A = this chain, B = another copy of it.
Amino acid sequence: MPSISPTLAAAMADAASAVVEALEHILPKSDFPEQKLFDAMRYGALGGGKRLRPFLVLSSAQIFGVNPDCALRAAAAVECVHCYSLVHDDLPAMDNADLRRGKPTVHKKYDEATAVLAGDALLTIAFEILSDPRTHEDPQVRCRLVTALAKASGVHGMVGGQMLDLIAETTQLDIGAITRLQRMKTGELIAFSAEAGAILGKTSQQQHNALRAYAHDLGLAFQIIDDLLDAEGTEAETGKSVGRDAKAGKATFVTVLGASRARNQAKLLSEQAIQHLSVFDGRAKHLEDVARFVVDRKS
């Protein structure tokens, strides 16, 4: 990881470059006949994005003085899982999205079968990365990372949340159900990202819990803003298809609370997230800044 520069934007850009470079090395290239699969994985993972989750991994690891090379591998693993979820969520049978990060989605660029397989392979490689001794010398730590990532991304986390999201298209959800949905769909992986530093740093349960609580508030704030951008943003601003929730008649934080209350709620969650970091006595500056950033972002 490069040295983090004083402003958040620069720090995030540095972290994004570092994780892209790590993914460049980790994701296979080939001139085998199945090259298309490798290309699609790289297209799905290397094509931009905020790299918020890697930034959280790197920033939380920094608090505990974790070896930056180890943190970068964990960050790359989380990003593989995040990118696989985007590739599968964009499929015609799911969100049927043509555009992602301003470019054709993987199944549009390649084809549907390749997109299914590229997603499968990105998910699989995440666990290969985490269980590798280069990610941490202590196998207990590597196992804890694998367990935590699997839980965050499985039925009780991201995949379960995506299922709920599909159900939300035909069932009217209340605010409690929407909160649970989003906590599973995006919150758990964001929580894992912040916790990864604590796992790598073998820190106290108190500090681990503080990061978890921080990340859960951050995740919800992030999602509320996502819903606002979907409702109010343009394709040019966000780089992805917008207005899909309204089109699908889906209940979101915005449709249930209204835009103004939703934005206030996101701000409150962001402040609450920052309060959880008080246990680190100012050593979690980047995490504080990113909690402010997620509610101010325009894409």
Chain A residues in the interface with B (C-beta under 8 A) = 28, 32-34, 36-38, 41, 88, 91, 93-94, 111-114, 116-117, 119-121, 123-125, 127-128, 130-133, 138-140, 142-144, 146-147, 149-151, 153-156, 159-160, 162-164, 166-167, 171, 177
Which chain B residue lies CB-closest to A91?
A: B116
Contact B88 A120 (CB under 8 A): yes
Q: A112-B93, A139-B142 are in contact. Are A117 and B147 (CB under 8 A)?
A: no
Partner of A117, one of B41, B112, B132, B162: B162
Contact B93 A155 (CB under 8 A): no
In the assembled complex, which residues on chain B have CB atoms less than 8 Å from the CB atom of A127? 127, 146, 149-150
Residue from A114, A128, A138, A171 whose CB has the most chain B CB atoms within 10 Å: A128
Ordered by A's residue number, 12 sampled pairs between the chains whose C-beta atoms are within 8 Å are A33-B167, A36-B163, A41-B155, A113-B166, A114-B166, A120-B120, A124-B150, A127-B150, A131-B143, A133-B143, A139-B140, A142-B146
Give chain B nearest CB distance to A27 CB in angstroms.
9
Q: What does DSSP make chain A's interface, helix, strand, loop or mixed?
A: helix
A-B pairs, top 5 by smallest CB distance, nearest first, are A93-B112, A128-B150, A131-B146, A139-B139, A124-B154
Contact A28 B163 (CB under 8 A): no
Give chain B nearest CB distance to A272 CB in angstroms.
26
Q: How far is the CA of A113 from the CA of B170 in the complex (A)?
A: 14
Contact B33 A164 (CB under 8 A): yes
Contact A128 B147 (CB under 8 A): yes
Q: How far is the CA of A121 from the CA of B153 in the complex (A)?
A: 8
Partner of A93, one of B111, B121, B150, B151: B111
Q: How far is the CA of A123 from the CA of B127 in the complex (A)?
A: 11
Give chain B nearest CB distance to A155 CB in angstroms.
5
Residue from A37, A41, A131 whose CB has the most chain B CB atoms within 10 Å: A131
Contact B121 A155 (CB under 8 A): yes
Contact B113 A33 (CB under 8 A): no
